Amino acid sequence: MRQVQVPASIQFAIAFALVTFHAIAYQPSYGQELKHIEIVFEDTEQAPLRGELVIEHPSQGMLVQSSDGQLVAIPPKRSISKIVSIDEPMEPMNPSEIAANTLGLLPQGAKSITTEHFVICYDTSETYARWNANLYEKMYKGMVRFWKEKGLDLQPPRFPLVALIFKDKDSYVEYSKRDFQGGEHTFGYYTQTTNRLATFDLTGIEGVLPPGAKVQREELLGEIFSRPQAERQIATILHEACHQIAFNAGLQTRLGDNPLWLSEGIATFFESADTRSSTGWAGTGRINTYNLQQLLVHLRIRPEDSLVSLLTQDERFRKGDTSAAAYGESWGLTYFLIKKKPKEFVAYLKKLRQRKPGNPSDAKQRLEDFQECFGQDLAKIDKDFERMISGLRL
């Protein structure tokens, strides 16, 4: 997700996970049982919160994972009446329960579709919703297969993966305001705190059909693929779905120690759209022509310390004058490392995903982590990287 302003509530949850503290426990994806609690607030109008205590710190508050997979931050100044320990482990909500809870976030009359790994809640045509559902499932299975071939087994998501599809951009933007400012400049997004993916009907076909008219799949695909922005629109949906899968299948740890170059590099590696295929996805390992183009432009003026700054400075992704180059370079570096150093890349992923939230790496640690897995000679890695990228063709 690019160039958006995150509101204070989400900033707190992220900042909470990025301070230094003693974590009680984390990593539910890997089977570690967390303490199941119920928090009763002094404000009687606030319903009690049940969930797993992920993290607790005297000056930072608590981070609680609810039964639908959301991460809820409780500030230290929040008035709490009592905290009760619950003996039995928390049972994640099943897909029908999550669908019932989520449908209220969309306009009245919204429906849901449940697939093997996703719960799709929508208020657009069923044909469009099912096209998205098939797209998400294809990417999920493709990513699982890809990483298995590289020696890394992903884990089935503990919680159903929730995706919201709004019938138009206005309702999508209105919904997005609870998470960030700038939704009008996006086609979709995923948040680690709510664990939801949100997007809207890219065709606009719902608004021009007579009430109750059925949308044929061929008609739908024609509307999607004929648009000038089709490749970028579909790529954005794939990009955000990749984030959701990565943070729920054990590839990365939600709110963990994830350098932005790595998170965005993985998402751009898998986001390649294919407007000639009925699924819309080009599959794994394809050259991302959009980001390659951005990177080739950047190579002409790329400073000598560009690799080091990419590894250590997340700010490059957040600034308008450097974000395009940062995304392009993160794709290129990820593509290079996976193609040339796949075993080392898997070792790097495993190293980072074991870190608990609240243990962020500084620039020195990030470089040490990278060099420990890929080699000490950054200059040689950078030279080999540039050579490979320069030899790729659009």
Greater pLDDT, 127 or 217: 127
Query: In the predicted model, is pLDDT for residue 26 greater than 70?
Result: no
User: pTM for the whole thing?
Assistant: 0.88
Q: Could you tell me if 121 and 65 lie in one domain?
A: no
Q: Could you tell me if 129 and 209 lie in one domain?
A: yes
Give a yes or no: residue 278 inside a domain: no
- Tell me the pLDDT of the chain averaged across its residues: 87
The pLDDT tens digits for 35-52 are: 999 999 998 888 999 999
Q: Could you tell me if 100 and 247 lie in one domain?
A: yes
Residue 139 neighbours by CB under 8 Å, 6+ apart: 238, 241, 242, 245, 270, 281
Greater pLDDT, 283 or 345: 345
Q: Could you tell me if 49 and 126 lie in one domain?
A: no
Q: Residue 241 — very low, low, confident or very high, per pLDDT cuts 50/70/90?
A: very high
Query: In the predicted model, is pLDDT for residue 167 greater than 50?
Result: yes
Q: Which amino acid is at 161?
A: L
Give a yes or no: residue 48 inside a domain: yes
Give a yes or no: residue 282 inside a domain: no
Give a yes or no: residue 284 inside a domain: no
Give a yes or no: residue 269 inside a domain: no
| Cα 114 from Cα 364, distance rounded (Å) | 45
Q: Whole domain around residue 197: which residue ranges?
A: 95-251
Q: Sheet containing 118-122: which strands, arranged edge to edge? A: 111-114, 118-122, 161-166, 196-200, 188-190
Residue ending a domain, choose from 47, 67, 85:
85
The pLDDT tens digits for 259-292 are: 999 999 999 999 998 777 777 888 998 999 999 9
Q: Could you tell me if 75 and 155 lie in one domain?
A: no
Give a yes or no: residue 256 inside a domain: no
C-alpha distances in Å from residue 192, one per residue of 5, 240, 297:
15, 11, 32
Greater pLDDT, 294 or 15: 294
Cβ proximity of 79 and 42 under 8 Å = yes
Cβ proximity of 62 and 72 under 8 Å = no
Average pLDDT over residues 163-187: 94
**3-state secondary structure (DSSP) of residue 65:** strand
Residue ending a domain, choose from 43, 60, 85:
85
| Cα 151 from Cα 231, distance rounded (Å) | 31
Q: Could you tell me if 75 and 138 lie in one domain?
A: no
Give a yes or no: residue 379 inside a domain: yes
Distance between start and end Cα atoms, the chain: 24
Strands 161-166 and 196-200: parallel
Q: Could you tell me if 52 and 164 lie in one domain?
A: no
> What's the DSSP call for residue 320?
T
The pLDDT tens digits for 57-108 are: 888 889 999 999 999 999 988 899 999 999 999 999 999 999 999 999 999 9
Residue ending a domain, choose from 194, 228, 251:
251
**Which of 159-173, 206-220, 240-254, 296-310 is the least confident region?**
206-220
The pLDDT tens digits for 291-341 are: 999 999 999 999 999 999 999 999 999 998 999 999 999 999 999 999 999
Cβ proximity of 388 and 336 under 8 Å = yes
In total, how many domains does the chain have? 3
Q: Which amino acid is at 378?
A: L
Torsion of CA 317, 319, 325, 326, to 10 degrees: -20
Average pLDDT over residues 194-199: 97
Q: Could you tell me if 39 and 133 lie in one domain?
A: no
The pLDDT, as a whole number, for residue 225 is 67
Q: Give 149-174 as a DSSP string.
A: HTT-PPPPPSSPEEEEEESSHHHHHH
Q: Pick the closest to residue 324 from 264, 254, 251, 252 (CA basis).
A: 264
| Cα 52 from Cα 69, distance rounded (Å) | 10
Cβ proximity of 267 and 251 under 8 Å = no
Q: Could you tell me if 205 and 310 lie in one domain?
A: no
CATH number at 133 reads 3.40.30.160
* Count of CA atoms in the C-beta half-sphere (13 A) of 363: 8
Q: Could you tell me if 203 and 100 lie in one domain?
A: yes
CATH number at 30 reads 2.30.30
Give a yes or no: residue 90 inside a domain: no
Q: Could you tell me if 243 and 150 lie in one domain?
A: yes
Q: Which amino acid is at 144?
A: V
Average pLDDT over residues 137-161: 97
Q: Could you tell me if 67 and 122 lie in one domain?
A: no
List strand residue ranges (DSSP E) for the chain, in order.
Answer: 35-41, 49-57, 61-65, 71-74, 80-85, 111-114, 118-122, 161-166, 188-190, 196-200
